[in-house]
Chain A
Amino acid sequence: MAWFTIPVENLLCRCLCIFITVWLTLLIVFIMVPAVLGISFGIRRLYMRTLLKIFEWATSRMEMGAKEKNQQLYKPCNGIIAKKPPTSLQQDLKELRGSASCPRSEPQFEMADIFFFCRRGVESILDDEVTKRFSSQELDSWNLLTRSNYNVRHISLRLTVIWGLGVLVRYGVLLPLRVTLAVTGIGLLVVLTTLLGFLPNRELRFSLSEKIHLMCHRICVRALTAIITYHNRENKPKNGGICVSNHTTPIDVIILANDGCYSMVGQVHGGLMGMIQRAMVKSSPHIWFERSEVKDRHLVAKRLSDHVADKTKQPILIFPEGTCINNTSVMMFKKGSFEIACTVYPVAIKYDPRFGDAFWNSSKFGMVYYLLRMMSSWAVVCSVWYLPPMNREEGEDAVQFANRVKAAIAAQGGLVDLIWDGGLKRAKVKDAFKEEQQNLYSKVLLGEQDERDLGDDQH
C-alpha cells in the first residue's frame, strides 16, 4: 500500500504549506502593513461590536436560567452598608447625648460617645473608599471569562459550549497570534533603534526615530488587540511640556505612545526591560534613572527641568500616582512633577471593563502572568481624553496645582477623585489623622467643660 500513503503525505504537506502561507499573508496584510503605515481597516471595532452582542446574549441566558430555578442572579453591589450622609462630629455627638434620659450625668456622656466612634470604626472596616480601589472592579454582565463570573450555578449547557469555544479561540488562536506580534514589535524596536543610533545626522535620526517608535507601538497595540478611542486630539501634548495621566497598568504607556512620541521616565531595569531601555535611548532622549538617583529628588527635578527646557525634545510622560489603581478612581498625585515650571498636559484614560480587566494588581500576580492574562482576554478597550493644557497659577503651590489637575482628570474620565495616597497599597496610614480626630473630640468636650465649670462656680 506504499503508493497510497505517499500522495496522502504530499497532500498533507501541501495543505500545511498553503495554510501557513495564507495565514502569514493575512497577518502581513491585515496587521503589519496597517501598523507600519498607520492606517486601520476597522476590523477590531467590528470584533468589539460582535463581542458585545455575544456578552449580552450570555447574560440574558444566565438571567433566564436563574429565573427558571427561581433564584436570584448575584449582582455585585456597590456597598455592603447604607452609610448615613456625612455629618460633623459635633452634630452626631449631640444626637447621641440627646437620647440619654438623665441630662446631667457626665459618665453617661463619655460612655455613650464610645458608641459613636465604635460604629464609625466598624463602618470603615466594612466599606471604605480606599481598600476597594486596590482590587479589580466588579462587572454587571458576564463577559465569558471565568475570571469574572460569580453566577457559576446558572450556566446552561449552551452557555458552557459557547464558553468552551471562547476558551479555544482565546488560547488557541488569539494568544499565539498576539505573542508573535508582541515579539515582532519589541524585536523590531530594539533592532531598528540600535541601528538608528549609528546614523550621524541628528535631524534624520530624530524624524526616523519618531516613525520607528510609532510603528512599533502600533504593532504592540495590535498585539493586545487594543481598541483605543482618542478624544480631543487638538490638545495633544507638545514639545517642552509634561504629560500626566492616571495609572492603571503598564500598558498605559503603549496606549499613549501609540498616538504620539513621548519621553519616558523611569528606573533603569536589568534583563529584557533594560535592553529595551538602552535601545530606546540611543535614538531619542528618554530619562532613565539609576536606583540610587531616584531618592535624590533634586537630581530628578533637575534632569526633568533640563529636558523640558529644550524645546526640541518630546514631552515627558509621567504617572504622578506612583502606582497602579483599579481605574475607578484617581488617587493623590505626587507633587514632584508639578514643581517644574512648564505646561502640564493632563490625559485621562478609562478602560472598558467588559472586555478584560486591565488593572495590574501587582500584589496578586507578576508582570509575565499579567501580560499573559491581558493577551488571553478578549480585547483591551479604552478611551483616551486629551485635556486642555494647564499652567500653575499665581499663588498656587505645587500641591494645589496637582489637586486641580487631578480633579480635571477625574471629572473627564468619570472616576472618583480621592485625596488618599496610592502608596497606601503597601504602607500604613500616618498617625496624624488619628490625632486630628482626637483634637476635634477634645474641642467638643472642652465646650461642655466650660459649661460645667460655669455651673460649678455658682455653688
Chain B
Amino acid sequence: MGASQTRAEHQYQDLADKTGFSFEQIKNLYQRFQQLSGNEETISRANLDSIPALANNPIRKQIIGAFFDKRNQHQDEVGSCDQIGFEQFLMVMSHFRPPNLRTTDEEKEAMRKEKLRFLFNMHDSDNDGTITLAEYRKVVEELMSKSGEIGQETAKAIADAAMLEVASINVPNMGPEEFYEGITFEHFEEILKGLEMESRMHIRFLDVDTSTMRCGKSQS
C-alpha cells in the first residue's frame, strides 16, 4: 500500500513540474481521464467523440485532433498519434492554464506564445508551418453551416477576404504577381497581437483546499 502510493506521487510530481498543474488538479484530471478512457491506459479519438457536450461544437474535429497532434507535446515531433496516455493528455490541457499572480512577464509571454502555437497548429493541418488558403477556408467552413444561412460560397468569400487582410497587414508592399504563400506563425502572431489572450483562452481549473471545504455531492 505504501510503496505504490509513493511511486504514484513521484510520477505526479514529475507531471506537476512539467505541466505546471498542482497535485490536486492532477489527481482530479486523472479521474476524468479514467472516466473518458473507460478505465483504460489510453484514450482514442472515439472516446472523445462520444462526449455529448462536445457534439455541439462546430470545430469538434479540430479540437479532438489537437489532442492527438504530436506538435502540442512540445517535443519537436510532428505527425499525429492514435492513442494518448495521461501525460500527453495533461500536456495538451496545460495550454489552457491561466497565469497566476506569481507568473513573471517573461513566463506570461511564453504562455501566450504557447497558446498561439496551439491555435496555429489547429489551423495548419498538414504540418508544413504555414496556413494556406485552403486550410483556412476549411476551418471557416467548419465554423459555419453547410446549408441554410450562409452557403459555401459566402464561407469561401469570407475566408478569401480574411487571407487578403492578413497579406495586406504583413506584406504591405506585395506586388500583383507575387503570391501569398500562407500565414506563417510570425504573421499569425502579428495579426492577433492586440487580442488579450490570457483571459480568452484559459480555463479555471479548480484547486480546492480540501481541509476547509466539503466538496462532495451535497444533494445525495
Interface residues of A (CB under 8 A from B): 72-82, 96, 99-102, 105-108, 110-132, 135, 137-140, 152-153, 155, 328, 352-353, 363-364, 414, 420, 424, 428-431, 433-439, 441-443, 445-446, 449
* CB-based contact A75/B51 at 8 Å: no
Shortest Cβ-Cβ A-B pairs, 9 listed: A101-B194, A429-B55, A107-B162, A140-B216, A124-B53, A442-B149, A121-B63, A128-B53, A438-B145
- Output the least CB separation between A211 and chain B (Å): 36
Interface segment among B102-110, B172-180, B206-214: the answer is B206-214
Give the CA-CA distance A116 to B119 in the complex, in Å.
Answer: 11
- Output the least CB separation between A350 and chain B (Å): 8
Most buried by A among B27, B149, B163, B214: B149
Q: Report the tally of A-B residue pairs with Cβ distances under 8 A.
A: 222
Most buried by A among B35, B55, B67, B217: B55
Give the CA-CA distance A106 to B191 in the complex, in Å.
Answer: 11
The residue that B144 contacts in the complex, of A80, A111, A352, A445, with Cβ under 8 A, is A445
* CB-based contact B52/A132 at 8 Å: no
Give the CA-CA distance A431 to B216 in the complex, in Å.
Answer: 34
Interface residue B93 (Cβ < 8 Å from any Cβ of A): yes
* CB-based contact A119/B96 at 8 Å: yes
Closest to A132 in B: B35
Residues of chain B contacted by A107 (CB below 8 angstroms):
161-163, 165-166, 191
8 Å CB interface, B142-199 against A: 142-146, 148-150, 154, 158, 161-163, 165-166, 169, 191-197
* CB-based contact B195/A108 at 8 Å: yes
* CB-based contact B195/A117 at 8 Å: no
Residues of chain A contacted by B220 (CB below 8 angstroms):
137, 328, 352-353, 414
Interface residue B100 (Cβ < 8 Å from any Cβ of A): no
Interface residue B81 (Cβ < 8 Å from any Cβ of A): no
Give the CA-CA distance A123 to B31 in the complex, in Å.
Answer: 15
* CB-based contact A128/B216 at 8 Å: no
The residue that A438 contacts in the complex, of B58, B62, B161, with Cβ under 8 A, is B58
The residue that A81 contacts in the complex, of B67, B191, B203, with Cβ under 8 A, is B203
Closest to B194 in A: A101
* CB-based contact B49/A434 at 8 Å: no
- The contact sample of 12 A-B pairs, CB cut-off 8 A, is A74-B27, A99-B195, A101-B194, A106-B161, A110-B143, A114-B139, A117-B143, A118-B59, A123-B203, A138-B217, A434-B57, A439-B148
Give the CA-CA distance A135 to B34 in the complex, in Å.
Answer: 10
Give the CA-CA distance A287 to B174 in the complex, in Å.
Answer: 78
* CB-based contact A328/B217 at 8 Å: yes
Known contacts A79-B206, A118-B122, A438 near B165 by CB under 8 Å: no
* CB-based contact A75/B195 at 8 Å: no
Give the CA-CA distance A415 to B27 in the complex, in Å.
Answer: 26
Give the CA-CA distance A105 to B144 in the complex, in Å.
Answer: 19
Interface residue B1 (Cβ < 8 Å from any Cβ of A): yes
8 Å CB interface, B8-62 against A: 24-25, 27-29, 31-32, 35-36, 38-39, 48-60, 62
- Output the least CB separation between B85 and chain A (Å): 16
Residues of chain B contacted by A108 (CB below 8 angstroms):
191-192, 194-195
Give the CA-CA distance A113 to B144 in the complex, in Å.
Answer: 11
Known contacts A80-B28, A102-B194, A119-B201, A124 near B54 by CB under 8 Å: yes
Closest to A140 in B: B216
Residues of chain A contacted by B197 (CB below 8 angstroms):
115
Interface residue B215 (Cβ < 8 Å from any Cβ of A): yes
- Known: A107-B162, A125-B63; 9 extra A-B contacts, CB below 8 A, are A73-B211, A111-B162, A114-B139, A124-B53, A124-B56, A128-B54, A129-B52, A152-B1, A363-B38
Closest to B5 in A: A153
* CB-based contact B214/A100 at 8 Å: no
* CB-based contact B96/A424 at 8 Å: no
Residues of chain A contacted by B96 (CB below 8 angstroms):
119, 122
* CB-based contact B195/A100 at 8 Å: yes
